[in-house]
Amino acid sequence: MSALGMLGAESFNLTGGGDPGKGVPLPSAALSRQPLLSLTDLVVGFGSAPPAVNGVSFSLAAGECLGLVGESGSGKSVTCLALMGLLPPQAVVRGGGATFAGRQVFDLDPRARAALRGREIAMVFQDPLGALNPVHSVGWQIAEALMLNQGLSERQARAGAVALMARVGIPEPKRRAQAYPHQMSGGMNQRVMIAIAIAAKPKLLIADEPTTALDVTIQAQILDLLDDLRRELDMALLLITHDLGVVAQMAERVVVMRHGTVVESGAVDAIFHAPQHAYTRALLGAVPRLDRRVARLASLPEALHLPEALQA
């Protein structure tokens, strides 16, 4: 492995992955950037159940797009909710640390964490209709974010909301600002969510399955928008998804999670073209692809499938 590779393996050591020699070279662009966020040995548990997130470590450079992939129950969403301080009450961060822009996130008092949320770290969820308020116009909901996070007056904020709606590609923004979420399509609502998220020009945008509920042609538009905004605002993007296609198209680096641990992480090209972990390989073999037809999809061996605790 090259010197660059060793450096990559060292600075992004994976506790969940076991063998640190599995570290994959980072793209040089990512290396030259300061880590904006680093998670170390994060453990999150729900009640007395085995931890949902068990020793997850990864880091993210400013302006970088990191893909967090895994199947349902792998702990990818819980990891991000822990970082945001949005865990449900029965879930507890049992260990590990998170450093964001030089601050220990878990040591901050609730007020400082609230200030971080929305201003420096913003989040977009899978279901925009569920995340938006049904009794306020979408323009008002964007304006509200501008008033809270930027301290704009109502008048300035309403004008700002229309400008943001135009930026995220909503046609006739002035008229649509008056519309309520139920009057808009799923794709348009997701654009509204993105407008709210970028209102404060955050340093990090966490997008949790942002296109899973959308049709494929709308998905392509939303992904394109997120990528544009990331470059324009030099905003890091943490993209949580189960869709390996979306990750391959968007991410610079990828973290593969399973059962609360990181099984593999590395540059996107290495993950897709030289996967080291059996689970990553199995997952890639299980996806039907448009660009090639195989006689039979790979099935994950049962042993790979079950959590270790359930294996005999």
Partner 1 sequence: MTVPAETPLVEVTGLRRVFRGGRRASFGGLGFGPRLECRAVDDVSFSIRRHETFGLVGESGCGKSTLGKLILDLLAPSAGRLRFDGKAPADWGKRAFRRRAQLVFQDSLGALDPRQSILAQVREPLDIHDVGPRGGRGAGRDELAAAMLHEVGLDEAYHGRYPHQLSGGQQQRAVIARALVLRPDFVVCDEPVSALDVSIQAQVINLLRDMQHRYGLTYLFISHDLSVVRHSADRIGVMYLGRLVELADGESLFERPLHPYTKALIAAVPIPDPRKRRDTPVLRGDPPSPFAPPPGCRFHTRCPHAEARCRSEVPELRALADGHAVACHLAERFAREVTA
Binding site for partner 1 (CB under 8 A): 71-72, 171, 185, 187-188, 215-221, 223-224, 242-249, 251, 268-269, 272-273, 282-291, 293-294, 296-300, 305
CB of 190 vs partner 1, minimal distance in Å:
11
CB of 98 to partner 1, least distance (A): 27
Smaller CB distance to partner 1: residue 49 or 216? Answer: 216
DSSP string, 219-285: HHHHHHHHHHHHHHHT-EEEEEES-HHHHHHH-SEEEEEETTEEEEEEEHHHHHHS--SHHHHHHHH
Nearer to partner 1, 133 or 185 (CB): 185
Residue keyed to tokens 């199947």: 71
Q: How far is the CB of 169 from partner 1 (least distance, A)?
A: 8
Min dist CB 229 to partner 1, Å, is: 14
The angle at the Cα of 62, spanning 84 to 95, to the nearest 5 degrees, equals 40
The smaller minimum CB distance to partner 1, of residues 200 and 218, is found at 218
CB of 171 to partner 1, least distance (A): 7
Q: How far is the CB of 195 from partner 1 (least distance, A)?
A: 17
Residues ≥6 apart with Cβ < 8 Å to 121: 83, 84, 100, 202, 203, 204, 205, 206
Cα gap 86→92, rounded to integer Å: 11
Judge whether 128 and 170 are in contact, CB under 8 Å: no
With contact defined as beta carbons under 8 Å apart, do 84 and 122 qualify?
Answer: no
Closest CB to partner 1 among residues 11, 185:
185
Structure tokens at 305: 């499938």
Of 57 and 241, which has the nearer Cβ to partner 1? 241
Judged by beta carbon, residue 122 or residue 270, the one nearer partner 1 is 270
